[in-house]
Structure 1
Amino acid sequence: MASIAVRRVYDDGKGAEGAVFLVDRVWPRGVRKEDLALDGWLRDVAPSTELRRWFGHRPERFGAFAERYRRELDEHPEAVRLLLEAARKGPVTLLYSARDTEHNQAVVLRDHLLNRLGG
């Protein structure tokens, strides 16, 4: 079974395993690019700007956000291809910058990937 972890980018990468990808559309504030050991910054896998702004990290909108984001992912399968390939080879860590560790795009993306991988 695939191992896909989600971690806040501000946690200094502690616990990051395997291939590490930033999955935010915009670079996290206060983080220098040279300070992150990334295998990739996948802007195109992040929610659209319109969806991200609509959600606004409001927990009461998370269910609708997740549904709409999964639709976006389904409409752009090439965006997740690299993540699926990496997860088939070994552990993957998805980095995100949101404060809320339960209601964010990385959680939805992880579940989407695991579903696609059959796990």
Structure 2
Amino acid sequence: MIQKKILSLDTIGGRIAFIRGEMRQEDFAVLLGVSRMTLIRYEKGERQPDADFLKTIVAEFGVDGSWLLLGDGDLPSIKLTPREAALLDNYRHCPDDAQRNLETMGALLAQSSAGKKKVG
């Protein structure tokens, strides 16, 4: 089973990884004119991207530069699977206390999944 990494949008590296989405790091790096290792370091927060790299992301993906750089503004739209859309719709129709419970449960499930080792 492939496990998706939980992204933190609190960092520029997390926002870059969010924009990359399911695209392979190699393909994303080539598109943006950097090496895969450079991209990995950006996403991990080991290096800060330069202005040219950020301008290229803004131009190629149409994201708000302020969001990319600072996390301010609206999250770029992403295409949800039907299951994800249904889950979000259910969440939005819950009262506040139920939403908080769902958030807590989701975080616990994600931590539990991240802690399991792949058997194979």
Q: TM-score range by the shorter chain?
A: under 0.3
Compute the TM-score of the two structures, normalised by the length of structure 2. 0.27
RCO (CA 8 Å, sep 6+): is it higher in 1 or 2?
1
Bigger Rg, structure 1 or 2: 2
Which structure dedicates a bigger proportion of its chain to helix?
A: 2
Compute the TM-score of the two structures, normalised by the length of structure 1. 0.28
